[in-house]
């Protein structure tokens, strides 16, 4: 037997499925995206800027942008900022990372959060702007107005919508799906190997990786068995019919299959189709049975007038 050492110059390519399968709309993020919908999802705590509802106005969490691997962590962070308030989630997204959407969806269902496809127009400036300071009555809070007209939830976004304790979409909002694109990362690995020749056969003793180099990516619309299983399990958890997966698989990744309102109701994707914005509607806070996310702030002190002559009343 003899001991041999060799620097393996030949490179082998390791092809591995990306840690997070994603939909075509949620591909690689540009280094400097100007469009907020091309940037990772950002969450904000918002209070209605409709002055007529004060001091009792609706508050909500607004999520806007691409669903990426860090989105569930960002959502947990905004939940901590919201504190004890159980605020609904208003969301607008072109889609993105499937596994991240499933993780966030399970958190939404666990906490019993209501979800609506609806956008938010901020009163002063967008929280994405570095110099935009919160302008709401509570710390870290922004003033804004919700609107569902033109709002959309595409690709992986409906997976989050499906998780809502109650799920709303107005007739003016758009929800759509398409095929899942799985991205595979290729990597060249250079290594140093020590081996022995035993009875004419090579026996590796040790292998040390010297460096790794990105060798690009490959993508496929063939749905991996593990992803299919994960989706069907999730649909069962959320009470969503399996036909939603059929709608996804029947649409090419470069197109969007818009789900009709009645179809979403039948699939269980939404629990109510509304004629306008619902969760952030200031009028709901004026109702006798108002939602919990109608929050009284900066209420004017109440003055009680007691008729003169009554005991304890100064004359």
Compute the average pLDDT of residues 277-299.
Answer: 91
| This prediction's pTM | 0.77
**What are the pLDDT digits (tens) for 226-275?**
999 999 999 999 999 999 999 999 999 899 999 999 999 999 999 999 98
Q: Is the pLDDT of residue 307 over 60?
A: no
Cα separation, 48 vs 123, whole angstroms: 9
Give the closest residue to 48 by CA, choosing from 286, 268, 272.
Answer: 286
pLDDT at position 197: 87
- Sign of the C-alpha dihedral, residues 30, 33, 36, 41? positive
Q: Is the pLDDT of residue 26 over 80?
A: no
Compute the average pLDDT of residues 33-58.
Answer: 91
**What are the pLDDT digits (tens) for 166-191?**
999 999 999 999 998 776 566 777 87
Q: Is 189 exposed, middle or buried (0-12, 13-18, 19+ CB in 10 A)?
A: middle
| 216, 24 Cβ separation under 8 angstroms | no
Give the closest residue to 66 by CA, choosing from 94, 44, 43, 105.
Answer: 94
Phi-psi domain of 121 (left: phi exceeds 0; alpha: psi -120 through 50; beta: other) = beta
**What are the pLDDT digits (tens) for 62-81?**
999 999 999 999 999 999 99
The residue assigned the tokens 């504190």 is: 83
Q: What DSSP line would sit under 166-207, residue for residue?
A: SEEEETT-EEEE--EEEEEEEEEEEEEEEEEEETTEEEEEEE
pLDDT at position 196: 87
| 96, 153 Cβ separation under 8 angstroms | no
Cα separation, 274 vs 45, whole angstroms: 23
Averaged confidence pLDDT in the chain: 84
- Give the confidence band of 298 by pLDDT, cuts at 50, 70, 90: confident
The residue assigned the tokens 């003899």 is: 2
Structure tokens at 80: 């901590």
- Give the confidence band of 305 by pLDDT, cuts at 50, 70, 90: very low
Cα separation, 122 vs 59, whole angstroms: 13
Neighbours of 2 (CB within 10 A): 6
Compute the average pLDDT of residues 72-98.
Answer: 96
Compute the average pLDDT of residues 282-304.
Answer: 80
Q: Is the pLDDT of residue 154 over 50?
A: yes
**Preceding omega of 55 cis (within 30 degrees of 0):** yes
pLDDT at position 198: 85
């Amino acid at each position: 037997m003899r001991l041999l050492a060799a620097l393996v110059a030949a490179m082998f390519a390791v092809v591995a499925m990306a840690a997070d399968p994603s939909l075509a709309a949620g591909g690689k993020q540009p280094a400097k995206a100007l469009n907020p919908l091309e940037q990772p999802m950002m969450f904000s705590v918002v209070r209605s800027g409709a002055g007529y509802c004060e001091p009792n106005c609706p508050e909500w969490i607004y999520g806007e942008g691409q669903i990426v691997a860090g989105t569930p962590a960002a959502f947990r962070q905004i939940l901590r900022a919201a504190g004890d308030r159980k605020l609904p989630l208003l969301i607008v997204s072109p889609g993105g990372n499937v596994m991240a959407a499933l993780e966030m969806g399970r958190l939404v269902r666990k906490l019993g959060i209501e979800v609506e496809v609806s956008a938010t127009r901020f009163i002063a400036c967008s929280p994405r702007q570095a110099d935009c300071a919160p302008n709401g009555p509570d710390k870290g809070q922004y003033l804004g107005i919700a609107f569902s007209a033109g709002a959309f939830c595409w690709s992986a976004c409906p997976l989050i919508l499906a998780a809502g304790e109650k799920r709303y979409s107005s007739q003016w909002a758009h929800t759509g799906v398409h095929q899942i694109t799985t991205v595979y990362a290729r990597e060249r690995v250079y290594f140093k190997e020590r081996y022995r020749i035993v009875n004419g056969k090579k026996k590796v003793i040790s292998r040390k990786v010297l460096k790794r180099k990105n060798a690009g990516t490959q993508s496929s619309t063939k749905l991996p068995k593990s992803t299919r299983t994960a989706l069907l399990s999730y649909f069962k958890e959320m009470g969503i019919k399996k036909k939603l997966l059929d709608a996804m698989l029947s649409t090419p990744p470069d197109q969007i299959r818009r789900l009709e309102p009645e179809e979403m109701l039948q699939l269980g994707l939404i629990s109510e189709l509304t004629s306008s914005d619902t969760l952030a509607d200031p009028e709901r806070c004026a109702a006798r049975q108002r939602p919990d996310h109608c929050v009284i702030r900066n209420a004017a002190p109440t003055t009680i007038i007691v008729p003169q002559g009554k005991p304890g009343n100064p004359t």
